Every structure is written in structure tokens, then in C-alpha cells.
Amino acid sequence: MNRSRFAARAPALVGALSLVSALAVVGCSDDKSPFHYSDPETGALRLIKKSADGKSITFDFVVGDTALTGYSTGFTLPVDATRVELGTFTPGTALPAGTAPVAAKATIPTLGPLTGMLVTAQSQKAAGEGAAEADAVLAPGTVLFTVQLTLVDGATSGDVFDGTAEGFVLPSGGLRNKLGITVVDKGQVAVGKLTVAK
């Protein structure tokens, strides 16, 4: 895969590339961590491992190789909730979510249509505390938000999610500008494979 060529096409190819499953590099694990995660190498937006320890793994949701301009982001990712639960969620500063209220949230619902999914969102605010009027320019590698998953007590070994699987596409995800126009489609949000190996 020619990374630069893919990245160059990515912003304009909304929905064209469903290979979210970006090529996995080598699965890696920090010492003593049960989590094994393969960062995606492609994708306009990517879920990248930030750190891991014996109890949790932390991801950055980052901009890929091409700069983007947008206002709001997020994704919905099916996870094996018998193995992980939501830890911390830290909004990034690139799309400032303001305060009172903070326009950012993550959850793994236990009821409803999104049960067992990691549901995330972050947006700038058009008014109120910490408002930002315009779309933000997001350089490659910009961290949009950080989300942590923690190991469920008694979790068994196995996959938590697998964005590298054939045909995998997130149920929802991407980047939108202030007008609500899609900048990055869910097909361009790349997620790797997370495994628990104890």
C-alpha cells in the first residue's frame, strides 16, 4: 500500500474505502500488559495506542497523514464488553469542546441499540463557554481525544475488537464540519485489532 497516495485520496473519498481495516502492523504489547493492539497504518482518522499497562489500554484518536478541517468527530465501535469497560475519556484540545457543558463524551451502553459499543463524540461549540466559531484545521497526527479501556475483572483471553477483519466497517464514525457536511466518512476511520491475552 502506497501510504502517501492513499492518504492523499482519503479526504476526498468519502465512503470509498471501507478498508478501515487498515493494514495492521505488528501487534504489540507493553511489558506485563494483557492488551495486544495493532495500530492501523492508514485511514484519515485512526485509533492509535497511546499506552498500556496491566489493567488498561489508552488510545489516541488521531488525524492520519493528511490535514483535515472539521468541527465534530466521534465513532461507534463494537467491543467485547465482557473483556473491557470504559476507563477515562479525555477530550483533546484540537476540537475544543468547551465547558458547561463539555461537548464530548464516551460511553459503553449496557442498554439500547448501542449496547456493547464504545460510543464517542467530541465537538466544538458554536456558543457558550469555550465556543469556537469556525472549523478547526487539524494537522496530521493531531490527537482529537483520548480514550481508555480497562480490563474487566475475570476477563478471558480473546478479541475485544478487530478492525482488521475482512469487510469491517465501523457502524458510525468520522469528522464533520460545522455545516454538518461529512469530511471523513466512517469508511475512512481506521481501527486496529485489540486482543486480550492473559
Partner 1 sequence: MKIGFLLHSVFTRAMAVPLRTRSGSALTMSMIVLATACKSTSHSSAPPAAQATAAHSAAPEEREREAMMWPRVHRPSGAELTVRNREAERESQKILASQRSGVTARAVAGTTWVSLGPTDAFSQFNGGPFEAVDSGRPNAIVVDPRDPNVVYLALSGGGVWKSFNGASPTAPRWAPLTDALPNLAIGGLALDPASPDTLYLGTGDAFDGAGNTVQKTTDGGITWLSPVPLSGTYPAPNGQLVLPGSIRSMQARANVVMAGTDAGLFVSTDAGATFHLVDLPNRNGKVLLESIWTVVDIGMGGWVVSGVTACDQASGPAPIVNGKDPAADCTEGNDGMIWVSADGASWSIAATPSMTGVGRISLAAANTVDPARVAVYGFIGSVDNRSTRGFWRSLDRGRTWSNATGTLANPSPDCTDLNIGNDQTYYNQAIIADPTNPDRVVIGGNLCGARTLNGTAASPRWELVSHWLPPSSGAVTSNGRLSYVHADWHAGTAVAINGGVRVYVGSDGGVFSTTNVFAASVAAESVTWARHNQGLATHLLYSVASGDPATQNPFVLFAGAQDNGTRFRANPTSPSVFNQPIGGDGIGATVHVATSGTTYWGSVQFSRLFCRPRPTVDCAEGPAWTNVDPVLGMTQEEEVERAAAVRAAGPDANDSEPFFIHYANVETDTTGQSVLTHSVGRIFVSVQGGTGALTWQPISQDLTPSGNGFANVAASRTIPGLYGAAGNISRAPFYVSTTGNTLSDWVVSKPVQPNGTLDRMTGPSSIDFPPVQPPGTTAGQVYIGSFTGVLNNGAPPPDDKGRLYRTTDRGQTWTSIVGSATARLPNVSIYVAKYDPVDPKTIYAGTELGVYVTTDDGASWRRMGNGLPVVQVRDIYVAKNQEFIRVATWGRGLWEMYPSAAANRGASGNGDYDRNQQIDWIDVAAVSSRLGVTPAVMQPPFYTWIMDLAADTKTPPTQLVDGLDLDALLLTFGGRP
Q: Report residue 71 as a C-alpha cell.
A: 468541527
Q: Is 152 in the site for partner 1 (CB under 8 A)?
A: no
Which parts of the chain fold into alpha helices (H)?
3-9
Report which DSSP code applies to 40: B
> 71: Cβ–Cβ under 8 A, 6 or more apart, which residues?
95, 123, 124, 135, 136, 176, 177, 178
Instruction: Name the residue nearer to partner 1 (CB basis): 41 or 85.
Output: 85
Q: Which one of 31, 167, 179, 198 is in contact with partner 1 (CB under 8 A)?
A: 179
Q: Is 188 in the site for partner 1 (CB under 8 A)?
A: no
Q: Which stretch binds partner 1 (CB under 8 A): 10-18, 40-48, 155-163, 171-179?
A: 171-179
Instruction: Name the residue nearer to partner 1 (CB basis): 51 or 172.
Output: 172
Q: Is 75 in the site for partner 1 (CB under 8 A)?
A: yes
Find the binding residues for partner 1 in span 24-63 (CB under 8 A). Answer: none
**How far apart are the C-alpha atoms of 97 and 21, rounded to whole Å?**
29
The distance of closest approach from Cβ of residue 106 to partner 1 in the complex, given in angstroms and rounded to an integer, is 9
> 161: Cβ–Cβ under 8 A, 6 or more apart, which residues?
77, 78, 79, 80, 191, 193, 194
Q: Is 148 in the site for partner 1 (CB under 8 A)?
A: no
Closest CA to 116 of 92, 149, 143, 145: 149
Q: Is 108 in the site for partner 1 (CB under 8 A)?
A: yes
Q: Is 184 in the site for partner 1 (CB under 8 A)?
A: no
Rounded to 5 degrees, φ, ψ at 92 are: -80, 180
Q: Note the residues at the interface with partner 1 (CB under 8 A).
A: 71-76, 97, 100-101, 103-105, 107-109, 111-114, 117, 119-129, 131, 172-173, 176, 178-181
